[in-house]
Chain A
Amino acid sequence: MTGTAVVPKKRMSPRKRAALVRYVQYALLVLLVVVLALIADWGEIRRAFLDLDIAGAQFPDVIVIALKNTIIYTACGFAFGLALGLVLALMRLSSVGPYRWISTGIIELFRGLPALVVFLVLGLGLSLAFGTQLSNLTTVTLALGLVGGAYMAETIRAGIQAVPKGQYEAARTLGMTHSRAMITIVLPQAFRVILPPLTNELILLTKDSSLVYILGLSLDEYELTAFGRENMNANANLTPMVTIALCYLLITVPLSIVVRRLEAKSGKAR
């Protein structure tokens, strides 16, 4: 080719081509939605998912029992997990070898196991091994706390390490002890950094709290998923599932918004 190659041929510019591709994608999406809407059996869907009589019958229990229990289980598990995670993170960063080994072992164990397995082992195994029957709330607190704590330990450790070493040194040169320097200077800065990932962990635990059903619950211990399943079976209808799905979103969507706010804020502070 000669120097005329610089002049484009009669073809679409890359930007126009990208726009065309996008329009085709939109058209395909609309087409898909229309086709699905046409072939769906709306009467059946309304009957199976959106039966207002069945939905109405679930109130107020779905709120005052199920949603309340989900929140209680999650809060207890998260509180224990956060405390455990903090201890494990500090042990992991310790200069004492055995502390590091123990915390690494615990973290790897509970990060590596499915939460369901932890629930089963704690719920059934502990009573067999020690002959004591833990209450369901204790079991769910321990199980969620161990699983969540193992994840949070790594997050907290990363947060502590993100605080410049000079902060710790400055605190020590002012005469603070190691613990005082960690509590007053290092940890507050670390938690600022890790608030968004910790809130994500809270959302994950909210959903994992449904695994408590494996323990066998009495009626007033039902959380959202167990409540939904029970009512789904009793009514032979999926409407209860839609109800509890909305309840979960009632917890998780506000939390997601909080996370995004926090991320935007910490991004600005940098």
Chain B
Amino acid sequence: MTVTADRGAAAIDVQQLHKYFGDNEVLKGIDFHIGRGEVVCVIGPSGSGKSTLLRCVNLLEQPTSGTILVEGDEITDPDADVDALRARIGMVFQQFNLFPHMTVLRNLTVAQEKVLKRGRAEATQVARANLEKVGLSDKADAYPAHLSGGQQQRVAIARALSMNPDMMLFDEPTSALDPELVGDVLAVMKDLASEGMTMMVVTHEMGFAREVADKVVFMDGGVIVEEGLPADVLGNPQHERTQAFLSRVL
């Protein structure tokens, strides 16, 4: 487990996190740690609490109890400036959630201008660089409805990157995509990982987890059942619930 000495290097540090929806305890005391520059994939059956855990990290869900530190700042502190913290944490959703009434370029610049107070020229420059990065420079003036799912998700990644976040959260980024479009999105994510971006990825893509992740976390029933190197968790699972899950998905 985490020791105090390397806390400073922790990008995300979750301690004793509990989350209830009504009487339903979705997270039952999670301890979870991501170091700077690490890529952590969270896997598990649906309803295991993995998306809720991810959404707690930027307070889209309010934890019932427990502590969450992001880059050493306690975001669960009632006095924390949550908006400023969220601007440092990029998030990519399963359903993309691009703003349909704005062009692709505007999707990438609006928060830079309104939140980071960048000028139009600088924001546009950052946006174009990130569109280039995800291979969609030619779509700057298109509206989201005219893009494929895979293109929309890459725009969503570029939008998050345009805020120059310290880390990125991915909530099943490929689950809503047609199978032939998954590869493009995963390729962008691999590039990001190789550049040293801290990433927390809730996913069903075991191939991606095996290839890219520094650590794989298996969750079931609101607890972390098993975590470790991808080769260990995916290749040689110790816990029978992990074995049962992997035998169904692999």
Contacts and interface: CB of A to CB of B under 8 A. Distances in A.
Interface stretch (B65-73, B107-115, B235-243): B107-115
B138 to A, nearest CB: 23
A176 B115 contact: yes
A180 B114 contact: yes
Contact of B111 (A167, A174, A188, A189): A174
Contact of B97 (A169, A177, A180): A169
Given A185-B99, A188-B101, A169 B86 contact: no
A173 B60 contact: yes
A170 B93 contact: yes
B99 A175 contact: no
Contacts of A164: 95, 97
Interface string B159-202: 11001000000000000000000000000000000000000000
A184 interface: yes
B134 interface: no
A192 B90 CA distance: 28
B11 interface: no
Interface in B9-51: none
B95 A175 contact: no
A192 B83 contact: no
A187 to B, nearest CB: 10
Contact of A175 (B83, B98, B145): B83
B58 interface: yes
A172 interface: yes
Interface in A177-208: 177, 180, 184-185, 188-189, 192
B101 A170 contact: no
A175 B110 contact: no
Nearest to A172: B86
Contacts of A269: 145
Contacts of A175: 83-84, 86-88, 111, 115-116, 163
A166 B111 contact: no
A169 B93 contact: yes
**Contact-residue size bin, chain B (C-beta under 8 Å from the other chain):** 20 to 34
B89 interface: yes
Given A166-B93, A189-B101, A192-B101, A172 B115 contact: no
B97 A166 contact: yes
Given A166-B93, A169-B60, A176 B100 contact: no
Contact of B159 (A174, A184, A189): A174
A175 B75 CA distance: 13
B202 to A, nearest CB: 15
B91 interface: yes
Candidate in B89, B90, B97, B156 with the most chain A CB atoms within 10 angstroms: B97
Nearest to A170: B97
Given A173-B58, A174-B111, A167 B99 contact: yes
Given A184-B114, A189-B100, A176 B83 contact: yes
Contacts of B83: 172, 175-177
A167 B98 CA distance: 7
A176 B88 CA distance: 12
B97 A167 contact: yes
Contact of A170 (B89, B99, B114, B145): B99
Contacts of B111: 171, 174-176
Contacts of B115: 174-176, 180
B58 to A, nearest CB: 6
Contacts of B114: 176, 180, 184
Contact of B110 (A166, A169, A184): A184
B86 A174 contact: yes
Contacts of B97: 164, 166-167, 169-170
B171 to A, nearest CB: 10
A174 B87 contact: yes
Contacts of A172: 60, 83, 86
A232 to B, nearest CB: 49
B163 A174 contact: yes
Contacts of A177: 83
A114 to B, nearest CB: 38
B86 A166 contact: no
A166 B95 contact: yes
Candidate in A174, A192, A269 with the most chain B CB atoms within 10 angstroms: A174
9 contacts: A166-B97, A167-B99, A170-B91, A170-B93, A172-B86, A174-B110, A175-B86, A176-B115, A189-B100
Interface of A: 164, 166-167, 169-177, 180, 184-185, 188-189, 192, 269
Given A166-B97, A174-B110, 6 more contacts: A170-B97, A173-B86, A174-B86, A174-B111, A175-B84, A175-B88
